[in-house]
Structure 1
Amino acid sequence: MPWILLIGLWQMVATSGWVNPGLMPTPWQVASKLVDLLFNGRLAIDILKSTQRVILGVSLGIAAAVPVGFLIGWYKGARTFLDPLINFFRALPPIALIPLVVVYFGIDEPAKVVILFYASFFAAVIVMYEGVSQISPIFIKVARTLGANDWEIFSRVIVPMTTPHILTSVRVALGVAWATLVASELVAAQQGLGALIQSAGSFFQLDVIYVGIVCIGSVALSMDMALRVLTRRMLRWQDRVEAA
């Protein structure tokens, strides 16, 4: 229903005369261009390329954010030392780092992945840090009282309790990475949805720009929905515990 309302509003604005028709294509024009680019253009390759970059950047970002988030969330000394640094770099927009990224990593794929990694890491590490810091030490004390060793505490207490935060970190990192995609593909990208949008902007092809925007939102939404399903399946034990 919200999509029908949104498309209806879009159609109304585009055909109402409130804006110049040349500045806002109708939903039908955008849909026609999408089909044309999908079957007669490079759109499928652009979607695949951008998705690959996002997945790689987020995977690397999460791989780094989970241990760092656990470290600063669980150990006060590490939090005191690292928290100012993380908050400093988190405030820097990835697009501001593009000149330095080009200098250090060139203009090939590593540069684009580094920008996505940067955005993903600092988005995810905050979620992990906040989640881990909320775990009550009483669970650790109870486990030790029952005779659990360090490995059993980590695998049977810490991991299950941090799994929801890890999955939330992935969702947040994916959203931030897709939002940063166009910036990452400013680095001399020839393929990708960001490159498609930038190229279309140079030639004032507004319908193509809308196609790129719709594709980014659709792929990001699909990945988020898949993560929600995965989260519900992996966290069924929480429902059983609450029911008990």
Structure 2
Amino acid sequence: MAKATSSSNRLGNFAWAVFPFICLVILWMLVHASGWVSPALLPSPLEVLQTFWTHLTEGGLLVNMGMSIQRVVGGLLLGMLLAVPIGFLIGWYKPIRRFVDPLVNFFRALPPIALIPLVIVYFGIGEMAKIAILFYASFFAAVIVMYEGMSQISPVYIRVAKTLGATDMEIFLKVMVPMTVPHMLTALRVALGVAWATLVAAELVAAQEGLGAMIQNASAFFDLRAIYVGIICIGAIALMMDIAIRKLSNRLISWQDRSGE
């Protein structure tokens, strides 16, 4: 009985997750059929699906997807590896936070596409340049979530730990780190979204393969169908990775009160 209920719940959750996309496709079909927009400017879902299949079987779509995933994951991991300790440092020490906060917000506001000329000068036009742009975008998105989460942890927990005789290191490892795990995972999700949003800009740097490069090449020939395929692939992959992180979060922080979800 419990298994049947669990299966029913999963099926219901899946249906609710898919339903908005079905509505979006239906709306897309209605707008295309209505003639409000020229068919030359708005391909039908079926035409986009056919283009997707053609690129999948003949056009190297899997290679483009693989290259983009590789770049995003590389930039994201490097960004998180640096953002987590720096976020801890800024959140733990208020004087450092006061000094660093304006700098972090300044660089966070700079669009990665504006840095492409400098990236080319310093890193060339190889894979390192693309990873550097994604790293830049991921790092500043993640570090803000990290130190904001650290700074909002109630000092009551620290005072209680000190009352019980805990050292600063024990407070950090046994109080602050567990309390910050949810913020780490949130930072990972935010940085992932920003990395995918920056992908097309990163692949402006002489990329021959990748979904961003595919979109740019298609735009040069006004191939709207291929552009739609590239955009949908980016969104779909980003969504699947985000769902995976959310499931990981639910497992890692199941001890926390999740009633707010």
TM-score, normalised to structure 1, is: 0.95
* Residues 1:83 and 2:84 aligned together: no
Match of 2:221 in 1: 203
Structure 2 spans left out of the alignment, 5+ residues? 1-18
Counterpart for residue 64 of structure 1: 82
Look up the SS of the partner of 2:255 in the other structure.
Answer: helix
Amino acid at match of 1:132: M
1:115-134 alignment runs, 5 A limit: 115-134=133-152
Query: Alignment partner for residue 108 of structure 1, among 126, 131, 134?
Result: 126
Matches within 5 A, 1:217-236: 217-236=235-254
Q: Which amino acid aligns with 1:53?
A: R
**What are the superposed Cα offsets for residues 201-223 of structure 1, whole Å, 9 maximum, x if unpaired?**
00111100000000000000000
Partner in structure 2 of residue 160 of structure 1: 178
Other-structure match for 1:176: 194
Q: Tell me the CA shift for residue 87 of structure 1.
A: 1.0
Matching residue within 213, 231, 237 for 1:213: 231
Paired with 1:78 and 1:64, the residues of 2 have a C-alpha distance of: 16
Query: Percent identity between the aligned chains?
Result: 64
Runs of 4+ in structure 1 off by over 3 angstroms are: none
Q: Deviations over 1:117-157 (max 9, x none)?
A: 11011111111111000112221221122232334322221
* One-letter amino acid of the structure 1 residue matched with residue 177 of structure 2: V
Structure 2 length as normaliser, TM-score?
A: 0.89
3-state SS of paired residue (1:21): coil
For 1:202 and 1:143, locate their aligned partners in 2 and report how far apart those are by CA, in whole Å.
Answer: 62
The residue number in structure 2 matching 1:28 is 46
Distance 1:116 1:43 in 2: 21
Aligned residue for 1:51? 69
Structure 1 counterpart of 2:219, which letter?
G
In 2, the alpha carbon distance for the partners of 1:219 and 1:65 equals: 23
Unaligned stretches of 5+ in structure 1?
none
Summarize deviations over 1:98-124 as a string: whole Å, max 9, x none: 000000000000000000011011111
RMSD: 1.3
How far apart are the structure 2 equivalents of 1:15 and 1:206?
17
Deviation, structure 1 residue 15: 2.0
Match of 1:191 among 192, 195, 209: 209
Partner letter of residue 123 of structure 2? F
